[in-house]
Amino acid sequence: MKVCAMREVVKRYKKVVALDHFNFEIKEGEIVGLLGPNGSGKSTAINCLLGLLAFDEGEVEVFGRRVSPDDMDMKRRIGFVPQDLSFFAELSVIDNIRYFAGLYEQNNAKRDEMVREAIAFVGLEKYGKFAAKKLSGGLKRRLNIACGIAHRPEFVMFDEPTVAVDAQSRNFILEGIKEMNRNGSTVLYTTHYLDEAQELCDRIVIMDEGRNMASGTLEELIDLVDPTEAVHLVLSEPSETVLKMIADMPGVVDVAEDDGKAVILLTPPGHHLSTLLEELKKHEIYYSSLHSELPSLNDVFLKLTGKALRD
Amino acid sequence: MRRFCSHMALNAKMSFKDKSSLFWSFIYPILLLTLMVIAFSGVQTEQKPIAVAVEPGHPFADVFRQIKMLDVKDVNGDEAFTLLRDKDIDGIYRVDGVLLVRGSGVNETILREIGSELTKVSSVYAAGRSLDFTKRYVERGDQKEGMLYVTLSASLGMFALYGYFSGVLIVHHMQANLSPLAARLSTTPISRISYVTAGLVSGVAMSSLQTIGLLFYLKWVWKVDYLADPWRTLLLVLAASFFGIAIGLFIGASNKWPLKAKVPLGVALMLLLSAASGMMGPPMRLFIENKLPWLNRYNPVNMISRTIYRLNVIGSTTEFTENILILFIAGVVLCVASLLFMRKRQFKSL
């Protein structure tokens, strides 16, 4: 079942096209990542899904209904964790979460249970009575998340929740999102960090300049590029003969030599490294170090857009 | 109702936990009023009856005797002049209706206001019987209005409108194109009307509490009594607080300026209005009243300060009902206009 869908959505800010016939959908139970550089249209897409932003063309549906800012039933079923810290800075952690949970649940006992769960979920048990403004950056991010998920939404949208967050809080946040997904929530996650998208998402939508450049699982996306695994070897005795012997080994599509280092390209990636090592041993070709690089999302992004994601 | 209460609780908690808001709402007004009292009157003592001579045959002689704040001396012309010259009295109500004073000051201001009020009342109930109303009955000369009362009243008028800041903040939390928090709240099933109404009610309560607190402070600490007519004063304070928040809502909702612009705008507007009302001293107010009388007639700070002064210092209810109604109706109009501006829930840009 589809949780949300955007079809041929066009959104213009005067002459700037933020979404250019953008299409994508999310099925129930998925974690879908919107991956793209800053300004690629990720937040615009989320704001259209939330009904906050009017768009010029196309259709946006959530839970099978056209998005409307007045659809309170839809609002009860979704959660939103914005990129900007959005809570009441003067209030305590507990008061903030209680207020947001109270917008969905009027029963005090149930609401307090939600608050306890949310605090435990983001690991803020020790900070319940702290004023939000006094928390560190990472803890504020966690509170920002707790306010968006306390009501146990069916569908949660995270807009770059780990920007400017320390590694510990980042891991905590990513593990929490996985846990939410295991508990049944469908997740839309925007990021410009490749590793987060790779680690977290079942499917990834690559965005650039408001367009859906490609979407699929990590493996499907990698298959879109020329799939090779690069093995870097520092040879003990590099020579033309040795390189020629390596070139004839199974799975090797190319060998190049660079200052005593051999760069061996294997295809398909992830299948021939052990065979290569056995062959090197058999032919008594010795090396002092080795490392292997599998194709990454950045290669995919580079191929699709002509620029690296980190640019 | 439960959500309404939760919005109220939120607003109250935010008001009490925000130290800068507490400073500007409570500490700063107290400091300013204290400075004014010290600067313009030294340490104010309890108001003593004002010694005034009333010439025999004066049409209001009996009325003057009934006014507790007056110490009426029944003396004739020459004797009265001597007393005035020797500073034993502060003024002479002459039989021809003219008030003669020695100079400027609080007492002279009060005598002038009493004379004016009685003249107005008399013009309604006894027109033409004993007085010539085409004549100017109060000789102001170089007399200036009492510095202390004018500046204090204008300051209180300004502080009574401090609800402006609550109004701006309510909109800042509700309009998705104004703040990230508002955008987030707009994605929740929050009832805007409930949030705005709760903000309005708690804002009026906080702002009124602040103004009433200042009135008690002036009364208890400095013996300046702005609570002589407590119920009417309370009504005025409530209307003023409501109007202040309504202006905040309107300015908050009618444009996309950032909070950093709307707050200074409010400060500037209130300082300007209170200056016109005499907070920087009576000459400015006299200038405005002579050159642009309509401005101060509908200047909300001046409406509040004059009414609070009349109610509590002179004991007059002149313009009380009219001013309350103007503030209340204008507040309602501004609230409705603000809600119309806030109808929009989907924006072209955030």
Do A288 and A175 lie in one domain? The reply is no
pLDDT at B26 exceeding the cut of 50: yes
A22 domain-assigned: yes
CA distance B263 to B200: 17
Label residue B313 by pLDDT band (50, 70, 90).
confident
In a domain, A304, yes or no: no
Among A272-276, A302-306, B236-240, B259-263, top mean pLDDT goes to B236-240
Residues B79-98, mean pLDDT to the nearest whole number = 84
DSSP code string of B124-155: HHSTTTS--TTS--B--TT----HHHHHHHHH
Of the pLDDT bands very low, low, confident and very high (cuts 50, 70, 90), residue B94 is confident
Look up the ipTM and state it.
Answer: 0.84
Domain boundary among A217, A241, A261: A217
**Distance of residue A112 Cα from the nearest chain B Cα, in angstroms:** 14
Percent of chain A with pLDDT over 90: 54
Q: Which residues pair with A59 in a beta bridge?
A: A7
Q: What is the mean pLDDT of residues B249-258?
A: 94
- B290-306 residue pLDDT tens: 888 888 888 999 999 99
- Hey, are the CB atoms on B180 and A51 less than 8 Å from each other? no
A270 and A202, same domain (yes or no): no
Distance of CA A243 to the CA centre of its chain: 40
Residues in A whose CB is inside 8 Å of some CB of B read 13, 47, 50-54, 69-70, 72, 75-76, 78, 80, 82-88, 90-91, 95, 99-100, 102-104, 106, 131, 147-148
Q: Sorting pLDDT into bands at 50, 70 and 90, what band is B43?
A: very low
CA B350 → CA A86, A144, B175, distances in Å? 14, 19, 10
Top pLDDT among B23 and B113 is at: B23
Does residue A308 lie within any of the structural domains?
no
- Residue B98 burial (C-beta neighbours within 10 Å; 0-12, 13-18, 19+): middle
Cβ B198 vs Cβ B4: under 8 Å: yes
Q: Which of A127, A103, A196, A248 is nearest to B191 (CA)?
A: A103
For the domain spanning B50-143, the CATH number is: 3.40.190
pLDDT of B132 strictly over 50 = no
* A299 is a domain residue: no
Measured CA to CA, the distance from residue B228 to residue B222 in angstroms comes to: 14
CATH code assigned at A165: 3.40.50.300
CB A82 within 8 A of CB B180: yes
Which of A282-286, B74-78, B213-217 bottoms out in mean pLDDT, i.e. has the lowest?
B74-78
Quickly count: other Cβ atoms within 10 Å of residue B319's Cβ.
14
Residue A222 belongs to a domain: no
CATH classification of the domain holding A248: 3.30.70.100
Q: CB distance A72–B348 less than 8 Å? A: no
Name the residue in chain A with its Cα closest to that of B180: A86
Cβ distance of B189 and A87 shorter than 8 Å: no
- Are both A233 and A213 inside the same structural domain? no
Inspect the interface and report whether the beta carbons of B13 and A95 lie closer than 8 Å: yes
Its domain, for residue A284, covers 228-294
Does A185 fall in a domain? Answer: yes
Task: Note whether A163 and A246 are same-domain residues.
Answer: no
For residue B200, what pLDDT band results from cuts at 50, 70 and 90?
A: very high
Question: Are residues A8 and A138 both part of a single domain?
Answer: yes
Q: What are the pLDDT digits (tens) for A194-242?
A: 888 888 999 999 999 999 999 999 888 888 877 788 888 888 887 888 8
Check A54 against B184: CB less than 8 A apart: no
Closest partner residue to B189 (CB to CB) among A88, A95, A103 is: A103
